[in-house]
Amino acid sequence: MPEKLKVGIVGCGAIARIRHIPAFLKLGGKVTLQAVCDKNASLAREAAARNGVTGVYSDLAQMLAAEKLDIIDICTPPQTHAAITIGAIEAGCHVVLEKPMALSTADCDRMLAIPRRDNQKLCVIHNQLYYPPVLKARKLVADGAIGDFIGMRIFMSDPQDEMIMRKDYWVHQLPGGIIGETGPHPIYKSIAFIGPVANVKVSARRRLEHPWAPFDEFRIDLEGQRGYSSIVISYSSHRRASTIDILGTEGALHLDLLSMLLIHHRKNTKMEPLNLALTSLGNAAQIVSGVTRNAFSLLTGGEFYGHNTIIKEFVSSIENNTEPPITGEDGRETTRALEMVVTKLRQKYGIK
Ligand SMILES: NC(=O)c1ccc[n+]([C@@H]2O[C@H](COP(=O)([O-])OP(=O)(O)OC[C@H]3O[C@@H](n4cnc5c(N)ncnc54)[C@H](O)[C@@H]3O)[C@@H](O)[C@H]2O)c1
């Protein structure tokens, strides 16, 4: 039997606990969770105790020196991604890391330039690309089901208590502030449809009282090689929302990523009562069948949030020496577009 790949987790905060550690544990036959590391030693000890891990560290260099690890999984804030990735690759490890790949395109280039003597894989977690409705939309668009792709819009709202009102949260120290944390999600989802980003336009404002963050409302337009994406990101309400609309020459798709539903609107040019009734019935039927599918998937342990699939495919890419599901180059393209957004914010509003 081939030896199991030994995994070390760096950063034992929210995303490691909720998504990464469970995703590796699910692959128990192929990997061993060998060590955990957090600069907050008590978080590392808790993660180790909860998951029966023997190696516990508060310093990455010590973990790399003491353990013979095959995979480093980086779940730390973005400010640390470049240095940790470079250290892990130099130590001969495969790396999977959370979005955004890094704070700047220059950092991504440094990460990509490190020689991978043992053909190590580098994979970035762009998990929302693997949400079931997003996977389905990508296939429908690729198959021409809505004709030629024209453009899309994305609406995201994060409840104000979750991030913007938390004064000492690291997200406010990112370039451009909080947009550096959530922004990668709508950007990589846009790139999947519009292709590489050539131009951006940005508007932002502050509605709430939080002197530590310059903005809580963002409107971003991306112009890609294949079309446009208009993004609304709000941090100032109490509502969580996440939707995508995609328009083609012969139809449209509406995705609700909270209820994981997709409605396929066919070509429709008439504004008549019968047409309205048939459209409403058709939408209702798609919602009911989507809810039924999701309920079945929930009951049978199906995957909704992408991490399990990406981590499983990343491990397969190591076993089979193939390309990981999201490459370092994909991570770089998202970071490059995010950097364009932040540069526009700085030019327009004079923020740091
Ligand atoms: N894909 C998603 O859906 C998703 C969701 C949330 C967060 N994230 C991303 O995951 C990453 C972590 O976010 P989080 O919400 O888990 O943050 P968190 O603050 O909950 O956890 C981060 C942990 O990293 C530790 N840490 C920081 N620097 C370290 C270092 N140099 N060495 C060791 N440990 C260190 C901190 O002590 C902390 O415990 C970020 O890049 C974030 O953008 C992704």
Phi first, then psi: what are they for 248, rounded to 5°? -125, 175
Query: Counting atoms of ligand 1 from 1, which one is nearest the CA of 307?
Result: 1
The DSSP 8-state label assigned to residue 327 in this structure reads B
Residue that is written with structure tokens 């792709």 in the block = 149
* Separation CA 125–CA 96 (nearest Å): 7
What 3-state DSSP class applies to 335?
helix
- The answer, yes or no, to whether any atom of ligand 1 lies below 6 A from the CB of 181, is yes
Structure tokens at 108: 């991504």
Query: What confidence category does residue 69 fall into, taking pLDDT thresholds of 50, 70 and 90?
Result: very high
Mean pLDDT of 22-38: 96
- Report pLDDT for 352: 76
User: Which CATH architecture describes the domain 5-128+305-327?
Assistant: 3-Layer(aba) Sandwich (3.40)
What does pTM read for this prediction? 0.97
Per-domain residue ranges for the chain?
Answer: 5-128+305-327, 130-302+338-349
Query: What confidence category does residue 2 fall into, taking pLDDT thresholds of 50, 70 and 90?
Result: low
- Report pLDDT for 1: 52
**What class does CATH assign to 130-302+338-349?**
alpha beta
- Report pLDDT for 186: 98
- The answer, yes or no, to whether any atom of ligand 1 lies below 6 A from the CB of 292, is no
Query: Counting atoms of ligand 1 from 1, which one is nearest the CA of 44?
Result: 39
* Separation CA 252–CA 264 (nearest Å): 6
- The answer, yes or no, to whether any atom of ligand 1 lies below 6 A from the CB of 178, is no
- The string of pLDDT tens digits covering residues 107-148 is 999 999 999 999 999 999 999 999 999 999 999 999 999 999
- The string of pLDDT tens digits covering residues 304-348 is 999 999 999 999 999 999 999 999 999 999 999 999 999 999 999
- The answer, yes or no, to whether any atom of ligand 1 lies below 6 A from the CB of 339, is no
Helices vs strands, H then E, count in the chain: 12, 13
**Which residues, at least 6 apart from 296, have a Cβ–Cβ distance to it below 8 Å?**
302
| Average confidence score pLDDT of the chain | 96
Is 246 a residue whose pLDDT tops 80?
A: yes
